[in-house]
A and B are shown apart, each in its own frame.
Chain A
Amino acid sequence: MHDAPIVTALADEHALQPAQRMSLLRFITCGSVDDGKSTLIGRLLHDTGSIPDDQLDRLSVDSRRWGTQEGAIDYALLLDGLSAEREQGITIDVAYRYFATPRRSFIVADTPGHRQYTRNMATGASTADLAVLLVDAQKGLLTQTRRHTLIASLLGVRHIVLAVNKMDLAGYNQAAFNNISEDFRDFAARLGFASIICIPLAAKRGENVVASTDAMPWYAGPTLLAHLERVDVSRPADNQTLRMPIQLVSRPNPHFRGYAGTVAAGTLRTGMRVRIQPGTNTASIARIVTADGDQPEAFAGEAITVVLDEEVDVSRGDTLSDARAPAVVTDTLETSLLWVSETPLNPSTPYLLKAGAATVSAQIDAPRQGIDVETGGIVVMTSLAMNEVGKVTVRLDRKLPFDTYAQSRATGGFILIDRLTNETVAIGLVDTPVIVAAPAAQLSERWPPLTGESSWRSLAKAFSWRALGSFGTVILAFALTHDRGLAAVIGAGEVLTKIVVFFLHERVWARVPFGIAPATKTHQ
């Protein structure tokens, strides 16, 4: 049955292509309970030769004991690694499986379908590049399919494969496939996926999973594996600006002071000017240090240590940003929150917010709106309980740099932690980092000028205004008194006093939002 060796089942070119030259694709599989998800993954692993014989032997023993396939191989048991899952016949938590073909290495996270375990599904989705969404050709889109699509889009999964399964039971009917595909494209159109492909397949018979089939001559697209091997999931690098949260300050000896972290977005280069946020200090990158030697640049995802060209204050939780396009530094965020705790949101309790390497205290307002995770529509919502998505305002006790989640998955997301139980209660996505006018008491720090006028410009305006005004005053005083000396004294006195008065008046107005629209600003 299994003559082919592991990994090389497909081709022998593997040996010619060293493993470290391959790219990595992380994907999740999701869908409703009986849509054949486990069979699909089983098929994928089996047909790529990724199930060792001893595991297959144990699987057949387990299938007889726990299986739901009347003694035949039940692939769900391969993935349901916890005894509670095998007993109950349901998937509780994400299972990770690994396989490789000559083209790519894959990490597949098989996620649970039950609503109760949505947070485990979200755990798998948060690191995935792509989601394979299963539907039964006879049933079409179900509520659960829509919920999974929506959560995948919320968590930043940008590529979707709609696998229309059990085509054999639907008579390989092209119209049935087209209807489901169109339904899905309609639903997913506004969720902003970068790519959507629909593939008709029959997982149990292995049709269009790894091998193509003659049963559906009307389908000219790739098999599932062929698509997974070729799909380009890289994000366009040119619209990503540098963000690097600092995890550690490295001071092994008096001669070295480096800042260790992982590049979250963009590209870091030596000589580049960076701003140390949330502060406003800037410095240049002197060295990019790794254990393999210094490098001239570092890309998103690389763990490195940087040395700056001057002594500036940098500590854990700070972020190095491209000085030309820094993040918005704010203490107020408009967010979408997916609540994952059994205890609902309590707006009167402070939570801890962790973003990058920074952890701060955060107050969460009660939501006014939320997203219906089954239809994708906006609904009125006044509280936030497990598995719900609310639109809420988050207020931090100190300012941090943020981007929108749409711009950067790494610097536009955060988690919320309950202070007492230490439980992760929510995953948050920044819709808008808000700059708002704060109370007048904190004028200097929290009340930046709205008009963008500098103090020097205000002073220049005061001079020009007074020169014009005082000239009029001197003329008027002379006309009334016919005393040149008196007119000159009145004019000169007024120039001095009114410049000061006008300057102060102008600086106060520069900070008053009255009559200036809009009061909020979104980072570009």
Chain B
Amino acid sequence: MRHTDHLHRLESESIHIFREVAAECDRPVLLYSIGKDSAVLLHLALKAFYPGKPPFPLLHIDTTWKFREMIAFRDRRAAELGVELLVHTNQEGLRQGIGPITHGSRLHTDVMKTQALKQALDLHRFDAAFGGARRDEERSRAKERIFSFRTPQHRWDPKRQPPEFWNFYNTRKGPGESIRVFPLSNWTELDIWNYIRHENIPIPQLYFAAERPVVERDGALIMVDDERLPLAPDELLERRRVRFRTLGCYPLTAAIESDATTIDAIIAELRQSRLSERSGRTIDHDSAASMEQKKVEGYF
């Protein structure tokens, strides 16, 4: 890449952010959610500290409802790279049997993701957490700073965000406060894919089209990844050629019908698409302000 190319500029800016946090924060952690954005985030972290290793662990919040392939991919990548991987599950939620099918997406996301994340950050006393969120994903994220401050209760105050000038980040925080840091803020979905292609970054096979067992539910194609997804009498389990545009909990993540089996084909498909990336995430549709509300409560 030439130094004026926009992917190279984005890469350099992200690396700068990683280094600044590593220098100024006591206990950073990288929130690793196994998807394509996390893959890019991890790749940038590795580049930022080359020839050394990133001076922080990865943390995965496991709701126990991720695609099985995601978990296998996660463990394989961590082993290959020799980086420390922490996995946290909300044990109380697990005991209560909280799940997306029995309790609905809203409660499941709150207990198994938001509460679990807060538990893990408190448990390890992390004061800065890198996340792969991008501003082009959703309109409340479009408003968020790269360094986003959280109260000791992990709440975000969107009306009183501190100013952020140039790349001079003020990382000072009060007792108990923490920072969510978003090095991919200025990347778009297309940037992510072009970068994955250019850098040859490994991603789960779920992003590529293949025959998979799916059921059509409320107009969305849900993959039946294990026996926990009960079918209604009128529902039909069928094999269709599908892929995923984003990855999350399998009962909440809709597949799209696709023939894209290569990154080039994915990029071509993306250019033709008239729908936004998160249109396949059922958890985002709860209400118009749902993402902002979840963020205020401490969701990533």
Contacts and interface: CB of A to CB of B under 8 A. Distances in A.
Given A8-B271, A20-B194, A82-B292, A413 B140 contact: no
B158 A82 contact: yes
A416 to B, nearest CB: 10
A299 B288 CA distance: 44
B81 interface: no
A190 interface: no
A52 B275 contact: yes
Contact of B164 (A62, A83, A98, A123): A123
B8 interface: yes
Contacts of B188: 98, 100, 105
Given A81-B142, A252-B52, A413-B166, A93 B161 contact: yes
B87 interface: no
Size class of the contact patch on chain A:
35 or more
Contacts of A414: 168
A58 interface: yes
B4 interface: yes
Given A83-B289, A423-B162, A424-B170, A53 B275 contact: yes
- Which one of A14, A52, A256 has the greatest number of beta carbons of chain B within 10 Å? A52
Nearest to A261: B19
Interface string B100-136: 0000000000000000000000000000000000011
Contacts of B166: 126-127, 409-410, 413
Interface in B135-188: 135-136, 138-143, 145, 158-159, 161-168, 170, 172-174, 185-186, 188
Nearest to A121: B163
Given A413-B165, A422-B172, A302 B3 contact: yes
Nearest to B17: A303
B170 to A, nearest CB: 5
B96 interface: no
Interface string A100-122: 10000101000000000001101
Interface string B17-60: 00110110000000000000000000000111111110000000
B16 interface: yes
B276 interface: yes
A188 interface: no
Contacts of A135: none
Contacts of B162: 423-424
Given A98-B188, A120-B163, A340-B163, A23 B23 contact: no
A62 B163 contact: no
Interface string A398-422: 0000000000011001110100011
A97 B15 contact: no
B143 A22 contact: no
Nearest to A416: B170
Interface of A: 2, 5-8, 14-15, 18-24, 52-55, 58, 61-62, 78-79, 81-84, 92-98, 100, 105, 107, 119-120, 122-123, 126-127, 234, 247-248, 250-253, 256, 258, 260-262, 289-292, 298-299, 301-303, 305, 316, 340, 352, 354-357, 409-410, 413-415, 417, 421-424, 427
